[in-house]
Amino acid sequence: MTELLIIALAVFGYALVSKPLSMSPVTAPMAFTTVGIIVGSGGFGWFDLKLEAEATSILVEATLVLVLFTDAIRIDLRVLRRQAALPARMLGIGLPLTILTGTALAVIVVPGLSVIEAALLAAVLAPTDAALGQAVVSDGRLPVRIRQTLNVESGLNDGMAVPVVTVLLAAASAEAAGGASDWVGLAARQVGFGVLAGVAAGVIGGRVLDHRAVAGHVEGIYRQLATIAIAVAAFALAGVLDGNGFIAAFVAGLSFGRVAREQCTGILDFTEDEGELLSAITFVLFGAVLVGPVLDDLTWQIALYAVLSLTVVRIVPVVLSLTSSGTFFETRLFLGWFGPRGLASILFALLVVEELDSDVGQTIFTVAAWTVLVSIVAHGLTSGVWAGRLARRLDAETRPMPEMEPVPELATRTRAAEL
């Protein structure tokens, strides 16, 4: 019960100062991670929950399912088609280049990793988390298109990374077992049945819920609960079919948002509140349970790769993907830098260490944990400063620039800074 009390006090305490902190460089992930480090095994040792505990696994799965589903439904694909140029470049060109660059550097820098294992590490660290730099996504000084580009990218790249992580994890597991298992067939079933379960749950559930809600047969709170039930159903159905539940949750969100867009507005408020709570708990656990054990495992290779992952591995592919886009070079650097690693990378790393019960799994976990820890601090401290600088630079520009074009604004993962 001590752990539950600590989490409750952390959430309550942050809520009391959330308004002034929203205007400072201190982000919610920074605060909750710091609390976790202080009370966890790296500090006073009051937080005794183990990494292998069933409660940890349940929280990881629930958080990732809700985050993937919520990220998917908040992206209106019909609106996105009219403003997709920049995020499409970053997702279609930048994301694959990020994984390839991260793989190459991991083979060189991190000892003991095969090419497949290096690719798995790169894929784990490929997704970005706009919540770590929420001052950027919600900073009204910046043009909407820049904020929207980061918002859309962070909303879609975690879901796009799931099948890559799934396939590479199956391949790494087979490699660790001497190649005995049919990892190609396993990966195909995981991805294929995951997509099938997601489409089925999202389309059928969305259409039925939309029909009943329009007819006035669904109360508000149960409309929201029914939406969460669709995400859970997609996850569970994928498990029954031997598919990947996380792929199913993301695809279900995309499908639901497509067929029941009118139901998404009120639902987002509820699911984002629940997701924010689970995210806060996850960052406390990250500091208390995950960071503590790896504090003594830092080597110069891990430190170097963490820095490279947040700079070269991220920035160079983004800049290359936006070449000939007509945007300022500083805008490209800005979009490249603000690819913080956060919740998705934490959860992917936990899945890897569960599936790969070996030194390799622990190495990937340690590198990912340190990268996220550095990202939480670095991106939190620099978000407001650079956002203000770039906003002033663009305001002084008299030429029409692509990043200044007006576009409709989509919902963000967290609106804390706007309240």
Straight-line distance from the first to the last Cα atom of the chain, in angstroms, rounded to the nearest whole number: 32
State how far the Cα of 230 lies from the Cα of 232, in Å rounded to an integer. 5
Average pLDDT over residues 171-190: 72
C-alpha distances (whole Å) from 401 to each of 67, 88, 94, 253 are 33, 18, 21, 33
Contact (CB, 8 A) for 249 and 235:
yes
**Confidence label for 416 from pLDDT (cuts 50, 70 and 90):** very low
Q: What are the respective helix, strand and coil percentages of the chain, to the nearest 5?
A: 75, 0, 25
Helix orientation angle between 95-109 and 115-124, rounded to the nearest 10 degrees: 130
Mean pLDDT for the chain? 84
Residues 131-144: pLDDT tens digits? Answer: 676 667 777 788 88
Contact (CB, 8 A) for 159 and 71:
yes
The percent of residues in the chain predicted with pLDDT above 70, rounded, is 87
Q: Which residue has the tokens 């201190």?
A: 26
State how far the Cα of 414 lies from the Cα of 192, in Å rounded to an integer. 31
To the nearest 10°, the Cα dihedral for 80, 402, 379, 101?
Answer: 80
Kindly tell me if the per-residue pLDDT of 51 is higher than 70.
no
State how far the Cα of 251 lies from the Cα of 160, in Å rounded to an integer. 10
Give the model's pLDDT for residue 43.
Answer: 81
Give the model's pLDDT for residue 232.
Answer: 93
Residues 285-335: pLDDT tens digits? Answer: 888 888 877 888 889 999 999 999 999 999 999 999 999 888 889 999 999
What domains appear along the chain, each with residue ranges and CATH number?
Answer: 2-418 (1.20.1530.20)
Kindly tell me if the per-residue pLDDT of 181 is higher than 60.
no
Residues 303-335: b if buried by 16+ CB within 10 A, e if exposed: eebbebbbeebbbebbbebbeeeebbeebbbbb
Give the model's pLDDT for residue 173.
Answer: 83
Contact (CB, 8 A) for 121 and 98:
no
C-alpha distances (whole Å) from 227 to each of 220, 233, 238, 306 are 11, 10, 17, 37
Least confident range of 22-26, 387-391, 415-419 = 415-419
CA 7 from centre of chain: 21
Q: CB-hemisphere CA count at 13 Å for 26? A: 11
**Confidence label for 82 from pLDDT (cuts 50, 70 and 90):** low
